[in-house]
């Protein structure tokens, strides 16, 4: 559900900047469609930007061998038919620096014709993801085992922080001292968090309020070279009391 929501926000935004596909990119799209149509997995595997991310906790695809092995779990009949029946001139759009997208962003290619993203989840992947989430829940402290989907896990110098979607885009913030385990009782749990997109590069944040305190988790997708992939900011009565860079432990 979370992923569909984020993809919808992205589609609404990029649709305003999309334009008819330039004819010079038609051969790239036609090549991709042809590989899918002929089930030429070997050839397609040479045109992937790795790692190819899958929705957490599904592991990203790191290389050609993994792609070939997991191909059918990603490109199921529904997605395959959608690609094969697509018209490069009307169903594929040029979306500036983001690349070339199919329909509502189901598939993205870069301007060299490499596959960079697949925002479709087959029934096989959905089943495996549900299994992995159940395994993950069993390892958590009983107080936080109930949630719809995991969203993010990251660490600062002092804290380990976890964000989960409880359903209906109600996000929960859980934190522990950095040396604690997630099976330990959390030091802090805050519900009713809000997701906010930040600009057109995919950056976003999750904000949680508890009395006078506001905990904001910033996620950087597009940033300056060397920029931290995430950060935590804590304010009290609008005054900053802590700001720490973080390393992301999950996509």
Identify the CA nearest to 29 among candidates 76, 81, 91.
Answer: 91
Statement: residue 91 has pLDDT above 50: yes
CA 191/CA 148 separation, integer angstroms? 13
Statement: residue 126 has pLDDT above 70: yes
Q: Tokens at residue 250, please?
A: 């999950």
At 25-60, the pLDDT tens digits run 999 999 999 999 999 999 999 999 999 999 988 999
Look up residue 60 and give its DSSP letter: P
Average pLDDT estimate for 222-229 = 81
DSSP letters, 128-190, are HHHHHHHHHHHTS-GGG---SEEEEEEE-SSEEEEEEE-STT-EEEEEEETTS-TTSPPSEEE
Alpha helix segments (H runs only) across the chain: 2-15, 26-37, 41-44, 64-74, 77-84, 123-138
The pLDDT assigned to 17 comes to 53
Mean of pLDDT over the chain: 90
The pLDDT assigned to 86 comes to 97
The pLDDT assigned to 223 comes to 73
CA 62/CA 75 separation, integer angstroms? 17
Average pLDDT estimate for 218-227 = 82
Predicted confidence band of residue 5 (pLDDT cuts 50, 70, 90): very low
Beta partners for 109? 100, 115
Statement: residue 115 has pLDDT above 60: yes
The pLDDT assigned to 9 comes to 45
How many residues are given for the chain? Answer: 251
Q: Tokens at residue 216, please?
A: 């904001």
At 139-179, the pLDDT tens digits run 999 999 999 999 999 999 999 999 999 999 899 999 999 99
């Amino acid at each position: 559900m979370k992923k569909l929501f984020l993809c919808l926000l992205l589609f609404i935004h990029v649709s305003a900047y999309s334009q008819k596909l330039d004819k010079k990119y038609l051969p790239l799209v036609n090549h991709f469609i042809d590989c899918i149509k002929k089930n030429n997995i070997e050839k397609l595997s040479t045109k992937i930007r790795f790692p190819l991310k899958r929705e957490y906790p599904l592991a990203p695809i790191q290389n050609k061998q993994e792609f070939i092995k997991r191909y059918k779990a990603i490109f199921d009949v529904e997605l395959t038919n959608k690609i094969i029946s697509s018209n490069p001139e009307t169903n594929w759009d040029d979306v500036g620096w983001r690349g070339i997208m199919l329909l509502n962003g189901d598939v993205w290619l870069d301007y060299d014709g490499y596959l960079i993203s697949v925002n479709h989840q087959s029934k096989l992947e959905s089943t495996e993801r549900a299994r992995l989430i159940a395994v993950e829940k069993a390892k958590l402290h009983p107080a936080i085992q109930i949630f719809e989907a995991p969203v993010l896990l990251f660490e600062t110098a002092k804290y380990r922080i976890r964000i989960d979607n409880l359903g209906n885009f109600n996000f929960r913030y859980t934190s522990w001292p950095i040396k604690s385990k997630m099976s330990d009782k959390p030091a802090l749990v805050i519900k009713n968090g809000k997701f906010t997109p930040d600009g057109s590069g995919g950056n976003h944040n999750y904000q949680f309020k508890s009395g006078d305190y506001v905990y904001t988790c910033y996620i950087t997708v597009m940033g300056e070279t060397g920029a931290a992939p995430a950060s935590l900011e804590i304010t009290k009565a609008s005054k900053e009391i802590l700001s720490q860079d973080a390393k992301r432990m999950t996509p």
